[in-house]
Structure 1
Amino acid sequence: MMGPREVIREERMKIAYIIANQLMEKYGTDVEAIGIYGSLARKTDGPFSDIEIKCILNSIEDGFSYEWTSGDWKAEVNLDNKQNIVEEATTVEENWPLTHGQFFTILPIYDPKGFFQELRQKASSVDNTIFKEAICKTLVEEMYEYMGKLRNIKIQGPETFLPALAVEIATAGAMILGLHHKRYFTTSAQVLPEALGLLNRPDGFDKLCQLVMSGHLYDSKRILDACENFWNGLLDWSKKNGYVINYSNSVPF
């Protein structure tokens, strides 16, 4: 049977080092650093986890990646420009809590100048105002739109989309909490459980998350009520924490 098959951590690490050596042979002195990221770097990898590697090059202009499978396992190698990856690591968007954990947990394979340590420091030193802007942006661009869809469904359907929408609303709420606390989530599978461990959560968030995590998303009224309650709680929470939705009757351009 074609993979993925079970691979023990030691074998996965051995493959990662083989890939790193091949990168060194191919790019030579142009290599600034090579490191493992993802679950393998965090030592939380399972028997079917991917191998994920970052290779920082000095002369490359635009990053690109190799992604392939041997049949038994899958690997992804991202080749990045040094300046570009620093810019990426210090940029805060609405999904920062899910995308940026990689910059804090990279496991160096080759890093003679300590580039990954420097990258980690820069990623953790982003000003709080940038996070505040990202939260306000998420409230308008994500949550406001989701609530519009929810209320449309309540009037005209289709209710079959409600389960997926509940997941999106709960996940967006978790992202807002992650941004508020400047905390990243370890993996997409842990977004909601880890968000529930954060302090200062909006009213209604816990019940919505528990509903989504239970998988019991067949009661349309229950979903609608849970999402509406969370939205009301989120608006109160945002006001208390200084996150303002700017309303305007005029076109802003």
Structure 2
Amino acid sequence: MIGPNRITREERMEIAHTIANQVLERYGSKVQAIGVYGSLARKTDGPFSDIEIKCILNALDEGFCYEWTAGDWKAEVNFDSAEHIIEEATTVDEIWPLTHGQFFNILPIYDPKDFFSELKAKASSVDGSIIKEAICRTLVEEMYEYIGKMRNIEIQGPQTFLPILAMEIATAGAMILGLHNKQFFTTSAQVLSEALSFTDKPEGYEVLCELVMSGNLSDPKQIIAICENYWESLLKWSAQQGYQIECSTVIPW
């Protein structure tokens, strides 16, 4: 039967090396670097984890990706140019704490010019003003909108969407904290638990996370009260940190 099925880390790494050798055979001198990323690179992979590989090719106009399964395991092989992946690694968006940890833990398979060390150094040099802009965008584009949806639901329903909305609010709050602390989350499965480890966070966030992580999301009034309390605390915390929501009656163009 098609898996995922259990394979060992050693088997997974052997498959990764086989794939890398095939890439080298096919693309030859165009290959600048090949490395494993994700849980396999961090050495936290489980028996059902994917194999994720980055391949850097010279003179590549547009990146591409292959994803496939051999039955027991699944692989994802991403092809990028050096210019494109450096641009990606130095771009900060609202989910930066979740997506950009990959650039800091690439395990080289083929890297004769130490490209992945250069990539890590560039990813580390993000300007603080860009971080601030991303936080302010998240406050408006994500959190403000979520609270508006929640208040609409309180008036007109459907209350069945409240559990999902609470999870989205908690996750967006985690992204703000990751950006604020310039820290990355290990995986999406650990975002909330790792966000709670930060000492500098709004009051009410811990209660919200505990509610979401417990799965006890059947009481609409409780969800709304906890989210409203967190939103009020988030606004105060953001103002103290200098993350202001810009308000204007004039269209900004």
Confirm or deny a common fold (TM above 0.5): yes
- 1:151 matches 2:138: no
SS at structure 2 position matched to 1:100: helix
**For residue 185 of structure 1, what is the amino acid of its counterpart?**
F
- Aligned-pair identity in percent equals 69
Structure 1: runs of 5 or more not aligned: none
Equivalent in the alignment of 1:65: 65
Equivalent in the alignment of 1:121: 121
SS at structure 2 position matched to 1:83: helix
After TM superposition, give the deviation of residue 78 of structure 1 in Å: 0.2
- 1:11 matches 2:11: yes
Equivalent in the alignment of 2:191: 191
Give the Cα–Cα distance (whole angstroms) in 2 for the partners of residues 8 and 122 of structure 1: 33
Equivalent in the alignment of 1:81: 81
Give the Cα–Cα distance (whole angstroms) in 2 for the partners of residues 129 and 100 of structure 1: 17
After TM superposition, give the deviation of residue 137 of structure 1 in Å: 0.5
**For residue 121 of structure 1, what is the amino acid of its counterpart?**
A
Mapping of residues 92-241 of structure 1, within 5 Å = 92-241=92-241
**For residue 85 of structure 2, what is the amino acid of its counterpart?**
I
After TM superposition, give the deviation of residue 59 of structure 1 in Å: 1.1
**For residue 119 of structure 2, what is the amino acid of its counterpart?**
L
Taking only aligned residues, the RMSD between alpha carbons, in angstroms, comes to 0.5
After TM superposition, give the deviation of residue 171 of structure 1 in Å: 0.1
Mapping of residues 40-55 of structure 1, within 5 Å = 40-55=40-55
SS at structure 2 position matched to 1:250: coil
After TM superposition, give the deviation of residue 2 of structure 1 in Å: 1.5
Give the Cα–Cα distance (whole angstroms) in 2 for the partners of residues 97 and 126 of structure 1: 12
Give the Cα–Cα distance (whole angstroms) in 1 for the partners of residues 185 and 43 of structure 2: 15
SS at structure 1 position matched to 2:168: helix
TM-score, length-scaled by structure 2:
0.99
**For residue 124 of structure 2, what is the amino acid of its counterpart?**
S
